[in-house]
Structure 1
Amino acid sequence: MADDTGIGGAPTPPVDGTTAPVPNDEPGLVPDLATQPVTELVDLGETLLVQAETFLASMLRPWNAYQIGIVIALWALAHVLRTVLGPPIRNWMGTREGWPKWRMRILAVIHQRLRSIFFVILLWLAVVIMREFTWPSRSYLLGIIATLATAWLFVVFATRLIRSRFLRRTVRYGAWVYVTLHILGLTTDAARLMDRAALEAGEFRISLLLVVQAIVILGVLIAVARFFTVTTSNRIQTNEDISPSMKVLFVKVLQIAFYGIAFYIGVKAIGIDLTGLAVLSGAIGVGLGFGLQKVVSNLVSGVIILLDKSIKPGDVISLGETFGWINTLGARYASVVTRDGKEYLIPNEDLITNQVVNWSHSDAFVRLDIYFGTAYGDDPHEVRKLAIAAAKDVDRVLSFKAPVCHIVGFGDSSVDYILRFWIRDPTQGLTNIRGNVYLALWDAFKEHDISIPFPQREVKMLGGEMPKASD
């Protein structure tokens, strides 16, 4: 029976290409397994370098040089067309006032890429003409450049859907590299090269190929999730049958759902095992219990506020010294804008635990009270009529909720009254409407000789000596 030894007793490599085990007494006959990935990486790099040298050498052939010259000339012609036709097209766009915004945005993107569009059209015209009148091999390079330019232009228009500038550029450059390698037939070699560039620690292995795949897949999925989130949110915001608080809740739930699904699909597509996240979730739970109590409390309080509809965007509230209307309801805080333009970010927990005055919770009607006094010599019946009539003449004071005026006491210097009236627009301010009513009272009282007294004191000087105090 034949043995498995070769010349000099060295083991013969197996047929399947694997490395046979090295005897303990001859460790130097087979390369170290630790250096095998590096060797393969170097060999692959040398192969790609040889292919690149071959491609550059082919550029020196006459017809390839002619095709490169044609490409440069067509690019210059496209630049001239962009310079000549760009301003008239922009002026024509300015006359399209009744068009929807999405159509105008498309036109703006097309106007920005006019040079590339002209270049692609001219390239394909040149390819068609050369294939019609010359050998196909003499337009081969021109066809590759036309295909690359078309793919790059398509990537530019496709990535415009991504609003994040950083994410849009990342996806665009990655897509450009991929389509270039695919058209040139180098995707397999590039994938092998990036897969060999990896970090390994035990069973953990992360390669450059995995990182690139993760960036591309997650970027595309997040862009799609953002598109669906924005589209659905706009439809919810324009639905008049849904209350403002429920609109905010639906939008938040949709954002969490879409982005969560995108992240889960992206991680599974990359091939990362999610079972290891169980330990991470436990650690996050411990962190929430100790260090993120306020954050979790604000998140839960925000959900409660949205569910019970106690506070909704547009409501006018008072919390301590802060008076304003709710601008937005976030996951952690509520934005309250005051009359002087200040925007307070109030944590949701404070809106739950503290006493909040909601001036427009059930309806927008608000009653305001002002106090004043008149002299004892003035008829109180006439004063009440004048006060009610003056309040009715002020703008913003509701006429179907008639103002009322009552005597509330007899003071040291005046008869004290209270005037009550209603408004329906507290967002327009409370101090200004009180001031207007006071001015109306002043004008009415001055016209009818009603005096507004002020405290007076009389000082009497006694003549003679002051009596002495007795013992």
Structure 2
Amino acid sequence: MNQIPLLSLIADLADDVRNPAMMWQIGAILASVILGWALAHGLRAAFVRNTQAPTAEHFGIESFMRVLTPALIAGLMAVAQYFLSKSQHVHALSVALPLCSSLALIRFGFYMLRKVFARHGQVGAALVTFEKVFALLVWLAVALYITGLWPDLFEYLDQTTLPLGKHKVSVATILQAIVSVAVLLMLAMWAGATLEDRLMKLSGMHSSLRVVMARMARAVLILLAVLLSLSLVGIDLTVLSVFGGALGVGLGLGLQKIASNYVSGFIILLDRSLSIGDMITVDKYSGRVTQINTRYTVLQGLDGIESIVPNEMFIAGAVQNSSLSNRNLALSTQVSVAYESDLEAVLVMLVAAAASVARVATEPAPSATLLRFGADGLDLQVGFWISDPENGRGGVTSDVNRAIWHALKASNVSVPFPQREVRIVGAPAGAGAFAAEAGGAPGAAPGVVPG
């Protein structure tokens, strides 16, 4: 019985081959392929020409063009099938059209999956495996449709029932429910990801407001997709009241932290206390904010290590934000010069050396002050400001220290180092005394140098 539809299809194709009108179908298929490829290639070239740089939008268009090619070919085949069916049999087109349509469906599924689940363009092994399973299922469905076995299979699934409580549900209904829920959720997540990409490109809106709008829009879309899916399946939405009560009990008993983190995430996004790119310090974590999610925030330290910090910590504890309302950050370094140095000339020299560093801000300007009269020389402090705290402090401080060192060496200004006189108790006067430089190597030649 299962071979009858397949044998019928083979017989119909054999009849078409013996009919001279078969050339019209072959010509229509070839013309559809060539014209569809040419149209897709022209559209791709137009989009690439309008895009100056290889941005994320450019790569997204390139990916969608891979979907557009088989979709255009299938559309042209459908038009050819409609007109040729009025005058002849179109069994060859009836086979070619589902094959091309299935290829478009598979590529569209891949496009949506990677748009939703692929992070930064990286495709994981699990996603690749799921794509292979999806493609296999689509090709299997097409094979059943072409061979005519699909109606028999659907009838068998519809007559097979499974007991669910007091009711019996057919396998076909369960599969339809799974497919409808999966498709609607995928469309909702894809629409949310697309909307988020659009919102992130709005330069006139605060970054935190863009993030919270994107998160709320995605949550609303997913909620609507779930509710619509349940309605299509035939589930009464009033049963959600029981689920809502169970969720409330769960939040009260064991999910306080999770709920607190989610609520804290929306508070952070709404009050704009943190923004992507800010340099912050919370508890023992410090770094630049790279992501603000509804449950956690990602901080990337200057050493490249990323810390996933729960949002509750930003609400319950103190947070240092280097770029909340003013991005200027004050830094300082210290240096000592000999007492016989020209103090006023050295202070001017230090200011000029700090100002020569590219990252040092010109307003407020660097300054140099006499900090104290030290034991070995005059202790001076050089203060300066930077306007890019997200780039770190160590590098610019090192550049300022190097500029100061070169300026002092060029002007022959002496930088004293600590000297101490060590005497051996009980030794004759003038004997056994030597000066040890701080940090000097053991076994250095002894000598008497005033401290």
1:313 is displaced (CA, Å) by: 0.4
Which residue in 2 is equivalent to 1:162?
112
Instruction: Give the 3 Å change call, closer, same or farther, for CA 90–256 of structure 1 in structure 2.
Output: closer
Which residue in 2 is equivalent to 1:11?
none
Structure 1 stretches lacking a partner, 5+ long: 1-48, 465-471
The answer to whether the aligner puts 1:197 opposite 2:160 as a matched pair is yes
Confirm or deny: 8 A CA contact 1:301 1:349 kept in the other structure: yes
1:342 and 1:329 map into 2 onto residues whose CA distance is 17
1:179 and 1:441 map into 2 onto residues whose CA distance is 78
Give a deviation string over 1:15-45, Cα, whole Å, max 9, x none.
xxxxxxxxxxxxxxxxxxxxxxxxxxxxxxx
Instruction: Give the 3 Å change call, closer, same or farther, for CA 124–229 of structure 1 in structure 2.
Output: closer
1:131 is displaced (CA, Å) by: 6.4
Which residue in 2 is equivalent to 1:437?
400
Which residue in 1 is equivalent to 2:436?
none
The answer to whether the aligner puts 1:447 opposite 2:410 as a matched pair is yes
Confirm or deny: 8 A CA contact 1:171 1:219 kept in the other structure: no
Instruction: Give the 3 Å change call, closer, same or farther, for CA 57–191 of structure 1 in structure 2.
Output: closer
Q: Which amino acid aligns with 1:385?
A: V
2:350 and 2:416 map into 1 onto residues whose CA distance is 16
Q: Which amino acid aligns with 1:358?
A: N
1:168 and 1:331 map into 2 onto residues whose CA distance is 32
Identity of aligned residues (%): 26
Q: Which amino acid aligns with 1:357?
A: Q
Q: 2:381 aligns with which of 418, 422, 432?
A: 418
Q: If the length of structure 1 is used for normalisation, what is the TM-score?
A: 0.71
Which residue in 2 is equivalent to 1:294?
257
Structure 2 stretches lacking a partner, 5+ long: 52-57, 115-126, 430-451
Instruction: Give the 3 Å change call, closer, same or farther, for CA 287–92 of structure 1 in structure 2.
Output: closer
The answer to whether the aligner puts 1:268 opposite 2:231 as a matched pair is yes
Which residue in 2 is equivalent to 1:350?
313
Confirm or deny: 8 A CA contact 1:159 1:172 kept in the other structure: no
Q: 2:349 aligns with which of 354, 365, 386?
A: 386
Confirm or deny: 8 A CA contact 1:326 1:336 kept in the other structure: yes
Task: Give the number of aligned pairs.
Answer: 406
2:291 and 2:233 map into 1 onto residues whose CA distance is 37
Q: 1:333 aligns with which of 296, 304, 320?
A: 296
Q: 1:226 aligns with which of 171, 179, 189?
A: 189
Q: 1:308 aligns with which of 257, 260, 271?
A: 271
Confirm or deny: 8 A CA contact 1:162 1:223 kept in the other structure: yes
Decide which moves more: 378-387 or 52-61: 52-61
Which residue in 1 is equivalent to 2:174?
211
1:96 is displaced (CA, Å) by: 7.1
Q: Which amino acid aligns with 2:113?
A: R
Which residue in 1 is equivalent to 2:49?
98
Q: Which amino acid aligns with 2:325?
A: S
The answer to whether the aligner puts 1:55 opposite 2:5 as a matched pair is yes
2:105 and 2:295 map into 1 onto residues whose CA distance is 37
1:68 and 1:215 map into 2 onto residues whose CA distance is 41
Q: Which amino acid aligns with 2:181?
A: L
Q: Which amino acid aligns with 1:218?
A: V
Q: 2:246 aligns with which of 277, 280, 283?
A: 283
Q: Which amino acid aligns with 1:162?
A: M
Which residue in 2 is equivalent to 1:145?
95
Q: Which amino acid aligns with 2:264?
A: S
1:82 is displaced (CA, Å) by: 8.0
**Residue aligned with 1:304, SS:** helix
Confirm or deny: 8 A CA contact 1:124 1:143 kept in the other structure: no
**Residue aligned with 1:336, SS:** strand
Decide which moves more: 278-287 or 322-331: 278-287
**Residue aligned with 1:98, SS:** helix
1:156 and 1:458 map into 2 onto residues whose CA distance is 84
1:104 is displaced (CA, Å) by: 3.9
The answer to whether the aligner puts 1:65 opposite 2:28 as a matched pair is no
Q: If the length of structure 2 is used for normalisation, what is the TM-score?
A: 0.74
Q: Which amino acid aligns with 1:289?
A: G
Instruction: Give the 3 Å change call, closer, same or farther, for CA 281–182 of structure 1 in structure 2.
Output: farther
Confirm or deny: 8 A CA contact 2:25 2:93 kept in the other structure: no
1:86 is displaced (CA, Å) by: 8.4
Which residue in 1 is equivalent to 2:360?
397
**Residue aligned with 2:197, SS:** helix
Q: Which amino acid aligns with 2:14?
A: A
Instruction: Give the 3 Å change call, closer, same or farther, for CA 220–172 of structure 1 in structure 2.
Output: farther
The answer to whether the aligner puts 1:371 opposite 2:309 as a matched pair is no
1:320 is displaced (CA, Å) by: 4.8
Decide which moves more: 342-351 or 255-264: 342-351
Instruction: Give the 3 Å change call, closer, same or farther, for CA 208–343 of structure 1 in structure 2.
Output: same
Q: How does 1:106-125 map to 2 (within 5 A)?
A: 106-110=64-68, 113=70, 117=73, 121=77
Confirm or deny: 8 A CA contact 1:152 1:176 kept in the other structure: no
Give a deviation string over 1:299-347, Cα, whole Å, max 9, x none.
1221221122111101011335543211111122111112222222122
Q: Which amino acid aligns with 2:363?
A: F
Which residue in 1 is equivalent to 2:200?
237
Instruction: Give the 3 Å change call, closer, same or farther, for CA 269–408 of structure 1 in structure 2.
Output: same
**Residue aligned with 1:345, SS:** strand
1:55 is displaced (CA, Å) by: 3.3
